[in-house]
Structure 1
């Protein structure tokens, strides 16, 4: 068994948090090791962000081709070759893969170690017989799709997003278990590529973390595209039915449920089942007990500086169970680099965390929903809305569906922003920046936006806020100014 020098930091996990920590640390002159048991790039490159957006892009084009007549174009109906679509998705992934190539990181000075790391003490991990000792460690092993214990599911067969992009077929019919971002994104993409799709969600609506009225608008859009949505239902079992799967769903059992509830169950047959019902942490094989690192439900617990119960061991990314987004893992890794390598410490800042679900239209979110804001800040809260369908650019793009909703507190301080629109993930950055630096909503009304763009939706919402403030003495002041203006000579 060999042991190397003592590293400044060893990052365990080659996803976003590990990669950013390794690159940032090495760039600052630290001795860094990066351990990965599979392939650098993590869920984002291989089974998440990159291939899913490539598939969504293909599905969007398929939709545009079918709707070409709305643009005055006569395009013959095209047959979708699933193998070609999925091959193109893998081509996109291959183009981005070099960004996370091990040799690229070795050229930065990172010791890239291939294998599974396991703590053998608070200051050492073992990787295939090699021991790595470090002053600091980062646990960044990420998460995986959680599979609920549904009777019959294992025997009947299913797939998750982790397998979706290495297949060569689009199922003729599909049941999606879970109505969160992953389930909804893939449901729409598969539907546009020709699948008959049913989404089953335990809660009473899809996308429960989102502003309800925007989530409801998106749900209506999905239904209009032919997706069957069964909310307030749980999958009670899945059985083989020849070459297909028979899915049984029912309302969830409650203490108030009376006799006969079982009669409300329903069944339907599909070719395949996609499970998108949450995430589980990748911590079971890390030897965390030997390191003295505490967990809660398998998720690594951290403080405001991203330190675990062992202060020299940090954790970032999905494995902490917080915001399970690539951009948050990047944000956390930058904080880890500072706190692990330098004497000036920083607390992680989660005050302004935007996110986006990449449906069509996209659904973006930052800050509080209206209900959350009213619970926290009381009657001073107001919400201001603008329908995207009124924008000239939306009409020109034949995309006149969506909404901007901005929630403000006393004095126009922005508490939350929510956008359902094409490009919402880009549009939300303006609201995020305003929240970060304390720019009030009224100020956004005076910002010049290029015409015609979707971003004008933010400006129009700010205009609506300004108009809402013209009451009481402000309205009287405006009326007085108008009277004075009319009395002045031209």
Structure 2
């Protein structure tokens, strides 16, 4: 029997979720001989590694102390996108006048309890893919409990000892909590507990203007919360291009989010009625009274309790396990995959790192993580998606760049959809059509970026994209228009004069 885990609220959907991903009646199997692969952590990286290796015939053990499915299923991608979908729906309804639909504001409202119940229902349904019994049926020995290394070749879980030829650390990360005076004395929210809310906070402070902070700030503002987003930099989404972040900033402001930049939260406290924040910015002190505080200030790796020193695995407390380009740790028989060792903390990156680990750990593979072309997307509305190099990164590498931009206000489908805020931007190596990177701001940028990712993966340039016939009208046609822009640069004055002479001669 495993330790009982409880999620709030304790309703039928959360009970169903736990029954699948950490069943209370689970009995760990008895280890039998040496495993080809022992994996600690059953998030995306661990699950993909376990399923793939077992499918190839390897003897695999998978250890998880919490909920199988990890951050993505339980407290990340799945629940956040469920409530983002609801927030987009109410925003669309209340802003449909330009589409010819008249609707009084009181005719549509948000039932927050129903929104969250829908999320819990869908999360429980999806969890079947990550369930303990499914992986047991795949031939994986699933151990629920706390695992740690005894030495370079052995892992202990409870009273059981697992011997391995190779091991994978896939323990992921958790929210980083900044050292704000008073933070330990208040009840604050992170992505790990915000999806347990059953009442909409009237006033919400969000500390951190990265992807999680921006997504949830916009979502709760659209639900009706008064949201203040506090960012230490001069812009939100500081990793992204300024022009892309500016579009999101403008939309957040239209949604009612109050933005405070270059800000430092110097003190937080709590009384029976509310939470109080003291914010220093531009020489001013702001006193903010809210009902809830959401910490969205980055991630920190789950390295505690693993006894990595015993296994000869080196790590940094703030960035995680140290790996080489083959995802080997400083113990060559132990690998890392996913958020525990990567600066790209995305589910899809963890997935493909896991695939790489299978080949490198079980076979004579020498696949390099640096060769993965990894796109990402921030699911605000509009979305920001990116792949490859930013322009400043290319220039820092000494690569000359040409940049092509197609604004969505000149793309017919975007005009018809009333979704003209955004653009497609593609960087190529100067004088060639070789794609170095791209940024897309659009309602469904996450879907559009895959076409450019495929082009980069297959080494197809802008000339090839220009020749791809897109259905009309689609927003993806913006990508073809970028290809057309490139082709027009090939029509030099000399070539144009030759063509004119040819056409004149053939009239």
TM-score grouping bracket, smaller chain normalisation: over 0.9
C-alpha separation in 2, matches of 1:463 and 1:343: 44
Q: 2:29 aligned with 1:8, yes or no?
A: no
C-alpha separation in 1, matches of 2:336 and 2:131: 23
Q: 2:87 aligned with 1:59, yes or no?
A: yes
Q: What SS is found at the alignment partner of 2:343?
A: coil
Equivalent position to 2:284, from 239, 242, 264: 264
C-alpha separation in 2, matches of 1:402 and 1:115: 47
What pairs with 1:462-473 in structure 2 (closer than 5 Å)?
A: 462-470=483-491
- Report which stretch shifted further, 34-43 or 154-163: 154-163
What pairs with 1:87-486 in structure 2 (closer than 5 Å)?
A: 87-251=117-281, 264-298=284-318, 299-378=320-399, 380-410=400-430, 411-470=432-491, 474-486=492-504
1:351 shift after superposition: 4.8
C-alpha separation in 2, matches of 1:242 and 1:465: 62
Assess if the C-alpha contact under 8 Å between 1:160 and 1:276 holds in 2: yes
Q: What SS is found at the alignment partner of 1:353?
A: coil
Assess if the C-alpha contact under 8 Å between 1:377 and 1:409 holds in 2: no
Q: What SS is found at the alignment partner of 1:214?
A: helix
1:319 shift after superposition: 0.5
C-alpha separation in 2, matches of 1:200 and 1:468: 43
- Report which stretch shifted further, 455-464 or 47-56: 455-464
C-alpha separation in 1, matches of 2:205 and 2:485: 42
Structural RMSD (CA): 1.6
1:255 — aligned with what? none
C-alpha separation in 2, matches of 1:387 and 1:175: 33
C-alpha separation in 1, matches of 2:463 and 2:342: 36
- Report which stretch shifted further, 138-147 or 160-169: 160-169
Q: What SS is found at the alignment partner of 2:398?
A: helix
C-alpha separation in 2, matches of 1:3 and 1:436: 41
Assess if the C-alpha contact under 8 Å between 1:11 and 1:22 holds in 2: yes
**What per-residue deviation string (whole Å, max 9, x for no partner) do you get for residues 1-25 of structure 1?**
x753111100100000110010001
1:345 shift after superposition: 2.8
C-alpha separation in 2, matches of 1:210 and 1:351: 20
1:486 shift after superposition: 2.8
Equivalent position to 1:29, from 51, 54, 57: 57
C-alpha separation in 1, matches of 2:490 and 2:280: 48
Assess if the C-alpha contact under 8 Å between 2:153 and 2:165 holds in 1: yes
1:153 shift after superposition: 1.8
- Report which stretch shifted further, 276-285 or 409-418: 409-418
Equivalent position to 1:39, from 44, 67, 70: 67
Q: What SS is found at the alignment partner of 1:265?
A: strand
**What per-residue deviation string (whole Å, max 9, x for no partner) do you get for residues 71-117 of structure 1?**
22234522212111111111110110101111111111100011010
C-alpha separation in 2, matches of 1:130 and 1:351: 37
C-alpha separation in 1, matches of 2:489 and 2:379: 32
Q: What SS is found at the alignment partner of 1:412?
A: coil
1:242 shift after superposition: 4.4
5+ residue gaps, structure 2, are 1-29
Q: What SS is found at the alignment partner of 2:331?
A: coil
1:420 shift after superposition: 0.2
C-alpha separation in 2, matches of 1:344 and 1:168: 48
Runs of 4+ in 1 over 6 A off after TM superposition: none
C-alpha separation in 2, matches of 1:171 and 1:350: 44
Assess if the C-alpha contact under 8 Å between 1:135 and 1:312 holds in 2: yes
C-alpha separation in 2, matches of 1:464 and 1:218: 26
C-alpha separation in 1, matches of 2:372 and 2:433: 17
**What per-residue deviation string (whole Å, max 9, x for no partner) do you get for residues 442-488 of structure 1?**
32112111111110111112222222343xxx222122212321332
1:437 shift after superposition: 1.8
Assess if the C-alpha contact under 8 Å between 2:303 and 2:317 holds in 1: no
Assess if the C-alpha contact under 8 Å between 1:281 and 1:321 holds in 2: no
Assess if the C-alpha contact under 8 Å between 2:323 and 2:341 holds in 1: yes
1:209 shift after superposition: 1.3
C-alpha separation in 1, matches of 2:350 and 2:63: 17
